């Protein structure tokens, strides 16, 4: 037995920092090709009017062949690093939230980190679908506070068109492609509030890959696994449950809706955003992200893309207090209050 064990002293040293965490920079990459409703309606026997009325979506962006998960991630990350004034070599960890990196292993994060010029950071992917970016920010804040990394790059990226069935009336007009990123680093004051997160596996089937890989491999004829969604049930869950989660995140951060400058919900559907804003009784002064109208639902990329759009439109400023809330397949959700960089 070692002397430390014999005396009851700790046998390993713990990391402690005493520091807080904040988002230092935000970046976005929107694919070049703008796709209006008129381009998707024929395959699903729909109309521009129906899509706008039910979802608020007018256009979305679909990635072209060169706009890969890696390419879009690197572009968004470079913008976030520049905004944060952090060199890639200062990044200690890269966390990539995605469900559309179509290789079971390895994760895409190490390849992205290497292309960015990071120096052997921890790099891994997480799978929490549309809630992925907010899960990544939560992990990053805890890593910075806990001392396992000083600067963390969080990326939310999707090329959902690779797994979309263009003839599926419930998904083809909703989902789209893009990437968003944030650099999380140390702060002298708290600037990322406590997370409220969770999951409900009872509703595992509501949004899912239709055929699992075993079905694909066993099929005598080639099949491509596609994303499928029970839209009405997801709509009910998101509209009624997520407002409560948002209010809990405000409460845990010690603020009320009156202290809020911006509301950045996952860009699932304009009607869900409106229902949440009503249920939370957000004052008119709160600027609400409505990026879904032009961007569609980009899953893990939607919150950082929506946040970037608020900056581009002059609706977000450094020092603003924003509520981020993301939710989707799992079902999984995460919400936190942040001070904007």
Number of residues that bind ligand COA (CB under 6 A): 20
Q: Report how far residue 27's alpha carbon sits from residue 16's, in angstroms, rounded to the nearest whole number.
A: 30
Distance in Å, CB of 324 to ligand COA, minimum: 15
Distance in Å, CB of 93 to ligand COA, minimum: 26
H/E stretch holding 181: strand 177-187
Q: Calculate the alpha carbon distances from 135 to 14, 125, 153, 266, 332 in Å.
A: 24, 11, 13, 12, 9
Of the ranges 30-38, 75-83, 114-122, 166-174, which one interacts with ligand COA (CB under 6 A)? 166-174
What is the set of active-site residues?
Answer: 130, 266, 297
Q: In what order do the strands lie in the sheet with 196-199?
A: 196-199, 332-339, 321-328, 262-265, 287-288
The single residue among 85, 169, 278, 281 that binds ligand COA, judged by CB under 6 A, is 169
CB 28 within 8 A of CB 267: no
Q: Is 231 in the site for ligand COA (CB under 6 A)?
A: yes
Burial environment of residue 229 by CB neighbours within 10 A (0 to 12, 13 to 18, 19 or more): buried
Distance in Å, CB of 229 to ligand COA, minimum: 6
The single residue among 26, 272, 277, 280 that binds ligand COA, judged by CB under 6 A, is 272
Sketch the per residue contact string, 50 through 89, with ligand COA: x for CB under 6 A, - otherwise: x---xx----------------------------------
Q: Is 133 in the site for ligand COA (CB under 6 A)?
A: no
CB 324 within 8 A of CB 134: yes
Q: Report how far residue 266's alpha carbon sits from residue 307's, in angstroms, rounded to the nearest whole number.
A: 10
H/E stretch holding 199: strand 196-199
Q: Is 273 in the site for ligand COA (CB under 6 A)?
A: no
Nearer to ligand COA, 110 or 296 (CB): 296
Which residue of this chain has its Cβ atom nearest to ligand COA in the complex?
231
Nearer to ligand COA, 62 or 235 (CB): 235
């Amino acid at each position: 037995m070692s002397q430390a064990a014999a005396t009851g002293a700790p046998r390993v040293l713990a990391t402690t920092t005493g520091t807080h965490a904040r988002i230092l920079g935000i970046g976005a990459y929107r694919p070049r090709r703008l796709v209006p409703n008129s381009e998707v309606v024929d395959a699903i026997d729909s109309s521009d009017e129906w899509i706008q009325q039910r979802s608020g979506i007018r256009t979305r962006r679909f990635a072209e062949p060169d706009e890969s998960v890696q390419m879009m991630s690197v572009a968004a990350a470079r913008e976030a690093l520049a905004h944060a004034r952090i060199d890639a070599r200062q990044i200690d960890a890269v966390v990539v939230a995605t469900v559309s990196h179509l290789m079971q292993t390895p994760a895409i994060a190490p390849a992205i980190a290497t292309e960015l010029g990071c120096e052997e950071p921890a790099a891994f992917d997480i799978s929490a679908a549309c809630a992925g970016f907010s899960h990544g920010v939560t992990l990053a804040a805890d890593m910075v506070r806990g001392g396992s990394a000083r600067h963390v790059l969080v990326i939310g990226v999707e090329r959902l068109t690779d797994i979309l069935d263009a003839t599926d009336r419930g998904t083809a007009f909703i989902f789209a492609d893009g990437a968003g990123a944030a650099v999380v680093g140390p702060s002298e004051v708290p600037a990322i509030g406590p997370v409220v997160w969770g999951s409900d596996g009872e509703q595992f089937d509501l949004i899912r890959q239709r055929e699992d890989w075993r079905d694909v491999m066993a099929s005598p004829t080639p099949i491509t696994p596609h994303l499928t969604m029970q839209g009405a049930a997801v709509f009910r869950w998101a509209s009624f449950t997520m407002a409560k989660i948002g209010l809990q995140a405000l409460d845990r951060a010690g603020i009320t809706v009156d202290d809020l400058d911006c509301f950045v919900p996952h860009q699932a559907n304009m009607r869900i955003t409106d229902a949440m804003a009503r249920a939370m009784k957000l004052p008119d002064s709160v600027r609400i992200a409505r990026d879904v109208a032009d961007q569609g639902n980009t899953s893990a990329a939607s919150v950082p893309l929506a946040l970037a759009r608020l900056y581009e439109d002059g609706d977000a400023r450094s020092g603003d207090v924003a509520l981020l809330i993301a939710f989707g397949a799992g079902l999984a959700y995460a919400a936190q209050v942040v001070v904007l960089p």
